[in-house]
Amino acid sequence: MSDRPAVILQAANTKPTVRPFVLGIETSCDETAAAIVSADGQILAHRVLSQIDDHAEYGGVVPEIAARQHISNLDGLILKVLKDSQMTVADVDAVAATTGPGLVGGLMVGVMTAKAAARAAGKPFIAVNHLEGHALTVRLSDDISFPYLLLLVSGGHCQLLAVYGVGQYRRLGTTIDDAVGEAFDKTAKLMGLGYPGGPAVEKAALEGNPLRFKFPRPLMNKPGCNFSFSGLKTAVLRAAEACVEARGALYSDDRADICAAFQHAVADCLTNRLTRAAALFREKAGGGELPFVVAGGVAANQFLRARLQQTCEELGFVFCAPPLALCTDNGAMIAWAGMERFLADPTIDDRDVSPRPRWPLDQSAEPLVGRGKKGPKS
Ligand code: KG4
Ligand code: ZN
């Protein structure tokens, strides 16, 4: 486990003045994270412990290892965050934790710890939807008003949503197979670039020629706003096989060219679907300059950010994206989503809410993948 340097986005020594303060805990996947935010959007403390080293040899997240690492590290991390902000748990006004969707073992660790801390301090517990954490982060970093159009791109999700308010989401499109982050991770694995794949593919693509390989753009120009990435993954596999056949091995220029062509194909798919969703959103939300927000781990990709920004400007939308440190999973996004819910209902207490491995943001939307007893994954 590597302790990523604590990212204190705003100085902790400027004495917070605006209560309430919310402690947020994130354990839904392979990051153990905690943060404290104040009602005026200051991040008073913010730490992320990455488990990348623990999962790297398996090429992906192993749920049992993840849960065990959360158990070992969460208490200490919370104590560090409290110390960073010169608080005790009695000084926070509520404790929020990711309660779903995610890996159930990790969710249980975060939720049980948060409930115990909240109960001990006599404060409310707030159950946060991880996706809502990503969806609202931009209101912490940039103070964006509702409504906005959101592209949520992460390891488990790829969705276009109209965001009308806290808890008010309408899904305009979703992936019918793989999530976009998953496509990055699988591409990286095929290229032998390791885990997590997104940053590795982005780096390799910088040296590549995007025109050498012609990859498909699944669902491009098709009706609706859905995405599909599984065909792209197969095309990457075929291209890699062809390189090995032609040259006896996959060389670094092959890798770079495949990654660049892959990233261009992803950008074309995302911007094409965004254009359609923007028209739908504008119909409902009216004219004027509307905000477009990209969030989730894949939003850390500079190439995709630039392409989305360009499309957004052509469509007359205002482009917004959280700072890179708040795109991938972190505790501040959970603390902030908890804050938004707490401000909307100061009597809130979710002490009876249990971890939910599946928890869609738009509960009325039909699941397209991951149908199951507990509801849709995306
Ligand atoms: O939001 P996140 O941290 O966790 C989930 O909620 O899934 O997103 C993780 C995903 C991974 O698939 C990772 O490869 C991808 O985000 N990612 C990136 C980049 N940084 C992280 N994908 C493309 N480019 C990046 N720079
Ligand atoms: Zn996430």
- For residue 353, give the nearest of 87, 112, 173, 39 by alpha carbon: 112
Ligand 1: residue whose CA is nearest its atom 3: 328
pLDDT per residue of the chain (378 residues) written in tens, 0 to 9: 544 433 444 444 555 469 999 999 999 999 999 999 999 999 999 999 999 889 888 878 899 999 999 999 999 999 999 999 999 999 999 999 999 999 999 999 999 999 999 999 999 999 999 999 999 999 999 989 999 999 999 999 999 999 999 999 999 999 999 999 999 999 999 999 988 899 999 999 999 999 999 999 999 999 999 999 999 999 999 999 999 999 999 999 999 999 999 999 999 999 999 999 999 999 988 878 899 999 999 999 999 999 999 999 999 999 999 999 999 999 999 999 999 999 999 999 999 999 999 999 998 887 676 544 333 443
**Same CATH topology for 2-137+326-344 and 143-321?**
yes
pLDDT on residue 267:
98
pLDDT on residue 15:
53
By residue count, the chain amounts to 378
CA distance 170 to 216: 29
CATH architecture for the domain at 143-321: 2-Layer Sandwich (3.30)
Q: State whether the beta carbon of 298 lies less than 6 angstroms from ligand 1.
A: yes
Task: Tell me the CA–centroid distance for residue 288 and ligand 1, in Å.
Answer: 32
pLDDT on residue 282:
95
Q: How many CA atoms lie within 13 A of 224 on its CB side?
A: 11
CA distance 202 to 106: 28
Name the residue type at position 54: D
Q: State whether the beta carbon of 101 lies less than 6 angstroms from ligand 1.
A: no
Residue 184's alpha-carbon distances to 20, 98, 128, 197, in angstroms, are 39, 24, 27, 5
Give the number of the atom of ligand 1 that is nearest the alpha carbon of residue 185: 14
CA distance 159 to 130: 14
Name the residue type at position 375: G
CATH topology of domain 2-137+326-344: Nucleotidyltransferase; domain 5 (3.30.420)
Residue 110's alpha-carbon distances to 97, 100, 360, 369, in angstroms, are 6, 10, 19, 26
Annotated domain spans of the chain: 2-137+326-344, 143-321
pLDDT on residue 366:
72
- For residue 163, give the nearest of 154, 155, 172 by alpha carbon: 172
Task: For the sheet with 2-3, list strands across it.
Answer: 2-3, 43-50, 31-38, 21-26, 94-100, 125-129
Beta bridge partners of 338: none
Q: Following DSSP, what letter does each residue of 85-145 receive, concatenated?
A: TT--GGG-SEEEEEEESS-HHHHHHHHHHHHHHHHHHT--EEEEEHHHHHHHHHHHHS-PP
Give the number of the atom of ligand 1 that is nearest the alpha carbon of residue 154: 8
- Ligand approaching nearest to the C-alpha of 337: 2
